[in-house]
Amino acid sequence: MKFSKVLLKELKRRGITRVFGVPGRENASILFNEEPDIQYITARVEFNAGIMADFTGRLTRKPQVCFSTMGPGATNMTTAVASAMLNKSPMVFISAQLERGDIFYNQTHQCVDQTAIMAPLTKWSYEMKSPEELPSVLEKAFQLVTQEPVGPVHIAIPTDLFNCDIPAPAGLDTPISYAISTEQTTPHPEALDEVHRVLAASQNALCLIGAEAVRTEQGQAVLEFCRQWRMPYMTAANAKGLERFSSPLNFGAASCYMEGIIGYPALEEIFSSVDTLVCIGYQYVDDLLPKMWAYGARKTIINIGSTPTFAIHSKFKPDYELSGSIAKILASLSEKGVTKQTERNLDTVKSCYKRSLAEATVRDGKLTPVQVINAVNPYFKNDAICVTDIGYYRHHAILFADPTATSQFFSDTGLSSFGTGLPSAIAAQLAYPERPVFLLCGDGGFHSGSCDLATLARYHLPVVVIVMDNSAFELIHLYQKRHNKTPHSAMVKLEKVDFVKLAEANGCRGIRISSIAELEEAIQQHDRTGPLVIEVPMRYGEHDQFRESF
């Protein structure tokens, strides 16, 4: 059987229904229509194709595949691979390489050492040597990407292999399913006893819930633990939705700019009285930084997760650490006896959120990020998916988005590359065509990858793209103004782009609004026959004073 056919059948049996990519010279030997049950999603640039696979993996928690051609195709994919690594996504990146007899790195046209480039960004990077090793290479790849800590792998395939004939592997049509898995280790009984002793002696413990708890589908076990112990919690941005923000135990998601955004020293109030921090499924890349909780007396830190945190002990050094199944560890601790924590009232902090959400003033036709987010929040009850691009406004979304379940709200706290929003929204709508999908983006990040508006139109994806436009790299401008006597404004101020015309030029419907009512009406009247781009002139709110909350 032809190698290219075996490759696609091996992907199909592993649950792959889409390959995201930009085609290249390897199309002489593989067209990706040799297997009718796999759809090739053509992006306009490799970075966007990679982010589509990256985000689909985060959203579905299933392995995904992206593909690039050789040379610049592979190097253009690098940022997406790094994103998958930092965001813990089960992504398999397959790239074409030159023919085996012509691989001379940095000498032959378009020939670079792809495995050396990708090795630091992946769990495994490998260039195939012979066609017969394909089944074993793919099996290793899919096992690795789904094993915590989840992350991408890279396989480079010399182009001459695609035309080779190889024996059809046994079971080629037998499906193989993969799910994110953790090492089935069990903490030592004495370690469990010691952690339970600390918890039982605590009066003001607080739980920090990281994205791993959701990714490994143990979020409900964490929530039940917090309820049993009456332990309030804060979540990472991508763990939002375990409960509504109105729950008395839910102190919301944290942002490093939150105190300036809500105009109140929230972190000081939340953490000053805490005696024990219980970090569950927490990883440093969740962006819940230790300096954010450095208020009050020293806290005892307990870390419970699938894997130890030895790699970041210089920044995050728990006093106690339990590794293994989060749900089983929490159940074991509760079985030893529950000590209810002191009931806490966070009404003052939550009233600041309510004040910001109630702000209805529109100045000169410009809305605030909070007003935009407030217009999207009602659609979470319809199981909407909301993704953000990168910018200051996304921290408002982290604070004020109010999803009704996990896997409804996503913001890239890992690599945080400009332009991730649009391909993420494309991926979300492809994965769940029946669900409303919203993209919240700024003009700077959005326009860095807006070429794939055409891809939205090509696949008739009814995403609502909300472009908050202030014609600037505003977060960088805010940093300039905060840390320099005189900012270099010309560096970060951008020329005005007509995003309505840009949308229409790419086959999308575009509209510009200048009031909250117009925004709400535009969303409500969206007929979902295709993509909608809403240009929103933006300003920041009266209480918003940019500063780092640490």
What is the pLDDT at residue 543?
Answer: 74
Q: Is 176 helix (H, G, I), strand (E, B) or coil?
A: coil
Q: In what order do the strands lie in the sheet with 464-469?
A: 409-410, 385-388, 437-442, 464-469, 532-537, 509-512
Question: On the CB side of 233, how many CA atoms lie within 13 Å of its CA?
Answer: 31
Sign of CA dihedral 227, 230, 231, 236: positive
Between the two ends of the chain, the Cα-to-Cα distance in Å is: 60
The structure tokens listed for 360 are 């209805």
CATH 3.40.50.970 for domain 359-537, yes or no, is yes
User: What 3-state DSSP class applies to 267?
Assistant: helix
β-strand pairing of 250-253 with 276-280: unpaired
Tell me whether the CATH fold assigned to 189-347 matches the one assigned to 359-537: yes
Assess contact for 495 and 476: CB atoms under 8 A.
Answer: no
As beta bridge partners, residue 322 has 304
Distance set, CA 167 to CA 2, 139, 140 (Å) = 9, 17, 19
* CATH T-level topology, domain 189-347: Rossmann fold (3.40.50)
Residue 284 CB coordination number (10 Å) = 14
Structural domain spans, the chain: 3-163, 189-347, 359-537
**Residue whose C-alpha is closest to residue 287's, from 234, 236, 241:** 236
Alpha carbon distance 455, 388 (integer Å): 18
Residue closest to 330 by CA, chosen among 147, 216, 195: 195
Q: Residues with Cβ < 8 Å from 352, sequence gap 6 or more? A: 262, 263, 264, 266, 543
Round to whole Å and give the CA distance between 233 and 248. 10
Instruction: Assess contact for 80 and 66: CB atoms under 8 A.
Output: yes
DSSP structure string for 429-497: HHH-TTS-EEEEEEHHHHHTSGGGHHHHHHTT---EEEEEE-SB-HHHHHHHHHH-SS--HHHHB----
CATH number of 3-163: 3.40.50.970
pTM of the model: 0.95
Alpha-carbon distance of 152 to 488, in angstroms, equals 38
Q: Do 88 and 412 touch, CB atoms closer than 8 A?
A: no
**Confidence at residue 550, expressed as pLDDT on a 0 to 100 scale:** 59
In order along the chain (550 residues), what is the average pLDDT of each group of 10 residues? 96 98 95 94 98 98 97 97 97 97 94 97 98 97 96 98 94 94 86 97 96 94 97 96 93 91 91 96 90 92 88 84 95 96 90 90 94 97 97 95 96 95 98 98 96 97 98 91 93 96 98 98 97 96 77
Length of the chain: 550
